[in-house]
Chain A
Amino acid sequence: MATVSVPVERTSSRPAGSKLISRIVLYTVLVLIGLFFVLPLVWMFTTAVKPFVETLQITWIPQEPTLQNFRDIFNDPSIPVLRWFLNSLGLATAFTLSVLVLDSLAGYAYARIEFPGRNALFGLLLATLVMPGIMFLVPNFITIARLNWLNTYQGVMAPGLAGVFGVFFMRQFFQGIPKELEEAAYIDGASVWTTFFRVSLPLAKGALATLAIITFLTSWNDFLWPLLIMNVRERQTLPVGLATIQGQYTFDYGKLMAGAAVTAIPVLILYTLLQRYIVQSVAMSGLKG
């Protein structure tokens, strides 16, 4: 392969002028597509800082920028935005920690420990991947109601903990660890638990971080299930709350966009800081398929 790649310089045969033009075309296309992705967010932020009269006009730059919309939504007792923010934060954190514990344990066992029924159980997990999620909506709602978990945080969290993505993800990772490391621990007389906690888990820090980020985002952004389970306004999450704001301020776009911005800003910060991990975990979910 290396011998082939040396003589071939795919762009060098073309004259410099045409190379420059193709670069200009490339960047123009890239920027235009970029505008499609960015402008709606810009529009959200500029509208959020406009006074009401200005939101009635279509202008990109606010004449008298103000934070009044943010103050208003934070002070309106019928839309407890701060509380929603804390709910989302608490739920996403608790959910992520639970997923990390559950899925690293299970993923490790399915990857590394032989036990009767392992392949059958793992096959069962695999089978649910192709099951359309729509099937579980009504029966899970009934289960949560039977447990008296309607309008509770555990009712929002519990069904998500059944998810199999994290188990696959961790299993994939643990299968990649050289067996010699664990064998050395076993020879020293370590138990399965000790080996897992002292040898394998410390190696999984990167995988756990990736799983944590994608799980946190999924939980933070979840809409349908919290909408079904939470009817108590104070206990709703931000995305569900934002839908409430939109019912309240249907045509007051300044406040609506302020609410959208409050919902979007934490994940946009998270995304900017941890983009590499997020992209990586999505890419992995594809390669597995």
Chain B
Amino acid sequence: MATSQQAGTQTIATTGTPARRRVNFVPYLFILPHLIFFTAFLAYPFFYGIYISLFNFDFLRPEFRPFVGLQNYNNILFNRNSVQFTDFWSAIGNTAQFILYSVPFLVIFALLLAVLLNGNYRGRNVFRGLYFAPYALSVTVAAVLWRWIFENGGLLDTYLTRIGLPPLGGLGAQPGAWIGITVATIWWTIGFNTVIFLAALQEIPESLYEAASLDGANKVQQFFRITIPMLRPVLVFVITIALLASANLFGQPHIMTGVQSRVVGTESIVQRIYDEGIIQYRMGSAAAMSVSVAAVLLLLTTLNFRIFGRGEQQ
């Protein structure tokens, strides 16, 4: 670091100005282009979102935007008689359900897949390539594909009936809707987590396993005594991103259950915010929903790192 500072001073010295006192603006030119966008679309909206959540903010009526204090929060969180209350809480419930269904699979199966793909055998890279391929696709493709598989009388039901099982009955009712959305999500995104685990597995020194097998530890013991403890920081990271990704559920129900989402019980919190803020133009309460959910997610993320990330620097 010190050297580049010297270098900077030297640059100015060649231009013939008193180097020490003058502020060198060149570094700021490097960061400025990104910083402009960062300020406008990440830093500013953080505060602006909180700000508009305190107003009755109808986008189409700029002349009428009264300050309402915490009323939006009261409406979505506590006021049973408000328009927002019921739909908001059922969207929260739906999203929480989805997190419970998806995250265990997205973490545990991804870890098992990574262990499987980390072995030493021929064709390993082909399987790695196949398992990760769906991640390269758009959520629309994934959701449209799986809708066609889970649809009433579609591929899955046909095969279930053929082997003598009762059909799921499509995405128009539970449990079909959640099973379909969860399977589509696992298919689409598990490759991402798998690759992260795989990279971390490759960082574990082989000598640890060799020492353990000399001591007579079998593969299962090695997995729980070496692999899991060594992976802990990455495990916390993957749990966190899986949690955040599942909390952001949108495209799958938007396409697979569509306008039925609310009736079927798959309407996610992002769908709710989209409907409230963008479709119905009630941006104040949509912002209040966003802030409330973001606060909970932030809390969960922090707890996750605190509880499972012990022994690491915070």
List residues of A whose CB falls within 8 A of some B CB. Answer: 1, 4-5, 8, 10, 23, 26, 29-30, 33-34, 36-38, 40-41, 43-44, 47, 58, 101-103, 105-106, 108-110, 112-116, 118, 121, 124-125, 128, 130-143, 145, 158-159, 161-162, 164, 167, 179, 182-183, 186, 189, 191-193, 195-196, 217, 220-224, 228, 238-240, 242-243, 246, 253, 256-257, 259-260, 263-264, 267-268, 270-272, 275, 278-279, 282-287, 289
Contact = CB atoms under 8 A, between A and B. Distances in A.
Contact of B290 (A112, A114, A137): A137
Given A132-B293, A136-B46, A138-B290, A143 B40 contact: yes
Given A41-B134, A133-B248, 8 more contacts: A4-B214, A36-B187, A109-B27, A246-B144, A263-B137, A264-B138, A284-B199, A289-B240
Nearest to A242: B140
Interface stretch (B6-14, B78-86, B100-108): B6-14
A279 B27 contact: no
Contacts of A121: 31, 35
A55 B51 CA distance: 52
B8 A192 contact: yes
16 contacts: A8-B213, A30-B116, A33-B131, A34-B131, A108-B30, A134-B247, A134-B297, A139-B49, A140-B45, A142-B48, A161-B34, A257-B145, A260-B145, A279-B195, A283-B195, A286-B234
B146 interface: yes
A270 B293 contact: no
B144 to A, nearest CB: 5
A57 B184 CA distance: 22
Given A139-B48, A283-B199, A34 B130 contact: yes
Contacts of A103: 34
B198 interface: yes
A133 B241 CA distance: 12
A9 B149 CA distance: 46
Contact of A29 (B116, B134, B251): B116
Q: Is the interface of A mostly helix, strand, loop or mixed?
A: helix
Given A134-B248, A267-B137, A26 B121 contact: yes
Given A145-B59, A286-B196, A102 B37 contact: yes
B130 A256 contact: no
B255 A279 contact: no
A161 B45 contact: no
A223 B140 contact: yes
Interface residues of B, number: 112
A10 B119 CA distance: 13
A134 B135 CA distance: 21
Interface in B11-25: 11, 14, 23-24
Contacts of B207: 1, 4-5
A287 B199 contact: yes
B41 A224 contact: no
B130 A38 contact: yes
A37 to B, nearest CB: 5
B141 A242 contact: yes
B206 interface: yes
A29 B131 CA distance: 13
A136 B35 contact: no
Given A134-B247, A224-B250, A283-B199, A162 B42 contact: yes
Given A33-B113, A109-B30, A223-B251, A136 B8 contact: no
A109 B11 CA distance: 15
B232 to A, nearest CB: 12
Most buried by A among B48, B59, B133: B133
The 6 closest A-B pairs by CB, nearest first: A286-B196, A283-B199, A109-B30, A139-B45, A289-B237, A115-B27
Interface of B: 1-8, 10-11, 14, 23-24, 26-28, 30-31, 33-35, 37-46, 48-49, 52, 59, 113, 116, 119, 121, 123, 127-141, 144-149, 154-155, 158-159, 187, 191-192, 195-200, 203, 205-207, 209-211, 213-214, 233-234, 237-238, 240-241, 244, 247-248, 250-251, 254-255, 269-270, 273-274, 277-278, 283, 286-287, 290-291, 293-294, 297-298, 301
A46 B234 CA distance: 39
B210 A5 contact: yes
Residue of B2, B24, B290 most packed against chain A (CB within 10 A): B290
Nearest to A244: B140
A135 B45 contact: yes
Contacts of B155: 43, 58
A128 B42 contact: yes
B136 A267 contact: yes
B40 A162 contact: yes
Given A135-B45, A138-B277, A279-B128, A106 B141 contact: no
Contact of B136 (A140, A141, A167, A271): A271
B109 to A, nearest CB: 9
B144 A256 contact: yes
A263 B138 contact: yes
A47 B145 CA distance: 10
A263 B241 CA distance: 26
B237 to A, nearest CB: 4
Q: Which of A40, A112, A124, A270 has the most CB of B within 10 A?
A: A40
Contacts of B147: 246
Contacts of A259: 144
